[in-house]
Structure 1
Amino acid sequence: MNVLTLQQELRDFAASIGVDKIGFTTAAPFVDLKHLLKQQQELNYQSGFEEENIELRTEPTLLLEEAASIIAIAVAYPSRMENAPTGKKGARRGIFCRASWGTDYHTVLREKLKEIEGFLVERVPGIKFRSMVDTGELVDRAVAERAGIGWSGKNCSIITPEFGSYVYLGEMITNIPFAPDEAIEDQCGECTLCIDVCPTGAIVQGGQLDSNRCVAFQTQTKGFLPDEFREKIGNRIYGCDTCQTVCPKNKGKKNWLHAAFEPEPELAKPLLAPLLSMTNKEFKSQFGHMSGSWRGKKPIQRNAIIALAHFKEEDAMPQLIDLLTKDERPMIRGTAAWAIGKIAAAEAEEVLLAALQLEQDPDVLNEIDKGLTLLKN
């Protein structure tokens, strides 16, 4: 079959299965990206979730020896929620970022890539391919940018003219020599809103992110949250959307296109208090289908405690005291101690002083001291 004919048929097929954008690029090395990634490593700006081997991230032929081109796909996700519940005193709520609403995008995009694989296998004898979504070696944004899906914005997201930056990305390396698409010209211009409003200054400059300072990254860590970020995460329990919500290119982009990504309001903005006593089984049952559950319940519970402290929610004191005195996990006990000091309810000092006498873990003792210090300020 003629490759150009196949390429057009593939575009049509992708649209029929709910792929919102598809683009093609060569399997040539990502030379500029290689330099950027080396700089990121030298500056310690990487999160640790990425593939460490820069060669694997920038040399497609190391992943598929016969690689001739890369297919990039994008699927849009909602930027707004209908019937969003409102938190109030005694019933405070946290929020998952938009990229975690609905069904885990890894699952959805992998299914779409499998359908594309099947489409090509039927038409191309001896086809070879390797598909990936987010957790693969290649840098999704770099592939999408070169394949004409969108441009790489100053907020370090791919921004598409049609859907803004609210898109999930995936790609397939293949030995089929598809014709490459043209990249889209950068349209950020002089705008620096995403840099200006980043809660922690994680966007060092346009297109460069210190991942370790990113609120989205910090909400996914498993240890104690550093003090400087506790005041910044607010009621975010997973992820952060600030650099996307302020982007002018996202204005008016609702993207209510795929039922799989429509948020369940009570899960996307869950009540905080029930999260604190949730078992692993209950957590998996309620949140296991969401991408925001991938790190387990512990970081979510820690963030929920911090969110309750953010609201100074005195109604949460009995639960926080229970966590401080009974929970087996030092990080949860310690965060609860800090939150008790932050909320500063009438019984806070007595509770913390009593815990100080019984606690043996040095990290938790340190958090109790922080809580007592907060009471004095």
Structure 2
Amino acid sequence: MNTVQLQQAVRAYAATIGIDKIGFTTAAPFRELKNRLKRQQELGYQSGFEEKDLDKRTEPALLLDQAESIIAIAVAYPSKMEDSPKGKKGERRGIFCRASWGMDYHTVLREKLGLLEQFILEQIPTARVRSMVDTGELSDRAIAERAGIGWSAKNCSIITPEFGSYVYLGEMITNIPFVPDVPMEDECGDCTLCIDACPTGALIQGGQLNAQRCIAFLTQTKTPIPEEFRAEIGNRVYGCDTCQTICPKNKKKHNLHQQAFQPEPELAKPLLQPMLTLSNREFKEKFGHISGSWRGKNPIQRNAIIALAHFKDEAAVPELIAMLDKDPRPVIRGTIAWALGQIGTEEGYNAIKEALLKEEDLEVRAELEATLKRV
């Protein structure tokens, strides 16, 4: 089997294992990307989750000896939830972003890439391959763009004509010299809806993101969320979809065909108050199979408290007061101090005054005092 025949066979096999799009590109360095990443670092726009070595992020040959090509894959995920549960007074709900519906996509895409590797090695046993999904050194988006999967949009996502931007990306570096696909033309045009709609102004300009202001990033941090962003988080407990849901290219793109990513409504839109008291074990048992659980329960519980403040949920006040009194985590106590002020009950204010009498953590004290000053 020659390289052209193998490439055709790989495309055909990919479709049989649930890969929605596949593209091929060279393993040449991503020089333009390197310049953009340097600029991101200089501006302080990075999240801190990225690989810090820019050479590894932009030079595939450093990651696989004799690298010749990169295979890019895309797997679509749903934008619509059937039987979405509705919150009501006293039973408010949060929401996980669409990229955290169903099974953790890292697991699903790694499995598909593993099958693809196995298929290639059966045809060419001497082939060299290395796959990665999201957490690898390379930029998934830059590879997908160059491999013709879609265009790199102003909302910092890859947009495909078939599935919109609701796609997970992965890639495989190999020493097989596949014929590269042609990149797509950018179809964003003059549209700036995503930039205009971003709740925190994180989209600085088309294709440039200040991760430090991005709600999707902020909901994954383990430190207190800066006060200027709290009101904008709303009831999001993980991630943010605003720049996707506003995009005209995503209109009527529901992508309900991947069974692994079908949302479990009670997990995708969970009741907020019961989340506050989950133990580590309970959290892992309930949410451990979704991608939004990767940072553990603490950020999710902090975000749930912010969401309860968003709803001004007076029914949650007794639970919040109990946690303010006994929870060992300063980030949680500080967030509760702010939340009780937002909900605005006399019971909450009295609890804040009592907490000040014994609170020793300086940051928590600052939150308590700031809340009383606002009153």
CA distance in 2, matches of 1:56, 1:282: 38
Quote the offset at 1:65 in angstroms: 1.8
Asked whether the equivalents of residues 156 and 208 of structure 1 are also in contact (C-alpha less than 8 Å), the reply is yes
Which residue does the alignment assign to 1:140?
Answer: 140
SS for the counterpart of 1:232 is helix
Asked whether the equivalents of residues 4 and 178 of structure 1 are also in contact (C-alpha less than 8 Å), the reply is yes
Which residue does the alignment assign to 1:12?
Answer: 12
SS for the counterpart of 2:333 is helix
CA distance in 2, matches of 1:236, 1:348: 23
Which residue does the alignment assign to 1:250?
Answer: 250
Which residue does the alignment assign to 1:38?
Answer: 38
Q: Give the counterpart letter for 1:74 in structure 2.
A: A
SS for the counterpart of 2:162 is coil
Q: Give the counterpart letter for 2:245 in structure 1.
A: T
2:335 equivalent to 1:335 = yes
Q: Give the counterpart letter for 2:342 in structure 1.
A: K
Q: Normalising by structure 1, what TM-score?
A: 0.99
CA distance in 1, matches of 2:177, 2:320: 59
Q: What CA deviation, in whole Å up to 9, does each residue of 1:65-106 have, x standing for no partner?
A: 210000000000000100000111100000000000000000
Quote the offset at 1:349 in angstroms: 2.0
Which residue does the alignment assign to 2:173?
Answer: 173
Identity %: 68
Which residue does the alignment assign to 1:194?
Answer: 194
SS for the counterpart of 1:303 is helix
Write the mapping of 1:206-285 to structure 2, written as runs, cut at 5 A.
206-285=206-285
Q: What CA deviation, in whole Å up to 9, does each residue of 1:323-362 have, x standing for no partner?
A: 1000011111111111111111121221111111011111
Q: Give the counterpart letter for 2:120 in structure 1.
A: L
Q: Normalising by structure 2, what TM-score?
A: 0.99
Which residue does the alignment assign to 1:296?
Answer: 296
CA distance in 1, matches of 2:287, 2:136: 24
Structure 1 runs not aligned, ≥5 long: none
Q: What CA deviation, in whole Å up to 9, does each residue of 1:38-81 have, x standing for no partner?
A: 00000011000000000000000000121000000000000010
Asked whether the equivalents of residues 341 and 370 of structure 1 are also in contact (C-alpha less than 8 Å), the reply is no
Quote the offset at 1:132 in angstroms: 0.2
Q: What CA deviation, in whole Å up to 9, does each residue of 1:249-302 have, x standing for no partner?
A: 000000001111000000000000000001111100000000000000000000
Which residue does the alignment assign to 2:366?
Answer: 366
CA distance in 2, matches of 1:257, 1:152: 24
Write the mapping of 1:32-111 to structure 2, written as runs, cut at 5 A.
32-111=32-111
CA distance in 2, matches of 1:250, 1:61: 35
CA distance in 1, matches of 2:213, 2:32: 24
Q: Give the counterpart letter for 1:310 in structure 2.
A: H
CA distance in 2, matches of 1:132, 1:349: 50
Q: Give the counterpart letter for 1:252 in structure 2.
A: K
CA distance in 2, matches of 1:359, 1:88: 34
CA distance in 2, matches of 1:154, 1:168: 17
CA distance in 2, matches of 1:342, 1:369: 14
Asked whether the equivalents of residues 78 and 255 of structure 1 are also in contact (C-alpha less than 8 Å), the reply is yes
Alignment size in residue pairs: 375
2:136 equivalent to 1:131 = no
Which residue does the alignment assign to 1:309?
Answer: 309
Q: What CA deviation, in whole Å up to 9, does each residue of 1:20-40 have, x standing for no partner?
A: 000000000001101000000
Q: What CA deviation, in whole Å up to 9, does each residue of 1:306-334 have, x standing for no partner?
A: 00001100000011001100001111111
CA distance in 2, matches of 1:45, 1:65: 32
CA distance in 2, matches of 1:308, 1:290: 22
CA distance in 1, matches of 2:373, 2:138: 46
CA distance in 2, matches of 1:301, 1:67: 44
Q: Give the counterpart letter for 2:252 in structure 1.
A: G
Q: Give the counterpart letter for 2:166 in structure 1.
A: Y
Q: What CA deviation, in whole Å up to 9, does each residue of 1:121-163 have, x standing for no partner?
A: 1000311011000000000000000000000000000000000
CA distance in 1, matches of 2:345, 2:72: 53
SS for the counterpart of 2:217 is helix
